[in-house]
Amino acid sequence: METTQSTSKKTKINLDFKDSKYATGRRKTSIAKVWLKKGTGKIYVNGKLFDQYFVSENHKMQITRPFEIINQATDYDVRCSVTGGGHTGQAGAMVHGISKALVMFDANHKITLKTENLTTRDPRAVERKKPGRRKARRSFQFSKR
């Protein structure tokens, strides 16, 4: 009795990011590790092109916004590893990380990106549920009779 093993090959994108800048971006519970280098404008998220990873047009516009603000949309390549949260939080974490990495490349971008609040971490997060309540602030329904 012979068993045949079929191995599925994953296509791993081999990216050379030796001369790159690294920054970490955070939003809600999402953490984005971002490597940025001079290139042709390709953005990879978790091994996929960001068009394949993020389906919403709003998220795609949000991620490319830091490059459009500094008028260098196709001058940098991005490799990003994102964990935690949902797509909206992950997109926000990527924007934060990309902005911080852009400031490392050129300190002149800091003023422009800071006025747009892209280098500032958004501290808003989900409030925890309290004991004796239904949600964080919502009480159980009161019935007089």
We find that the CATH architecture of domain 21-115 is: 2-Layer Sandwich (3.30)
How would residue 58 be classed by pLDDT, with cut points 50, 70 and 90?
very high
Residue that the structure tokens 């926000």 belong to: 92
CA separation, residue 93 to residues 34, 57, 63 (Å)? 9, 17, 9
Q: Which of 11-20, 56-65, 89-98, 100-109 is least confident?
A: 11-20
Q: How many residues does the chain have?
A: 145
Q: What's the whole-model pTM score?
A: 0.83
Tell me the domain boundaries of the chain.
21-115
Hey, what amino acid is at 31? Answer: I
Which amino acid, one-letter code, is at 50?
Answer: F
Got the DSSP string for 96-129? HHHHHHHHHH-TTHHHHHHHTT-SS-----PPPP
Element (H, E) at 76: strand 76-83
The amino acid present at 64, given as its one-letter code, is T
Structure token pair of residue 92 = 């926000």
pLDDT band at 8 (very low <50, low <70, confident <90, very high): very low
Summarize pLDDT for 61-103 with one digit per residue, the tens.
999 999 999 998 888 999 999 999 999 999 999 999 999 999 9
How many C-beta atoms lie closer than 10 Å to residue 65's C-beta?
17
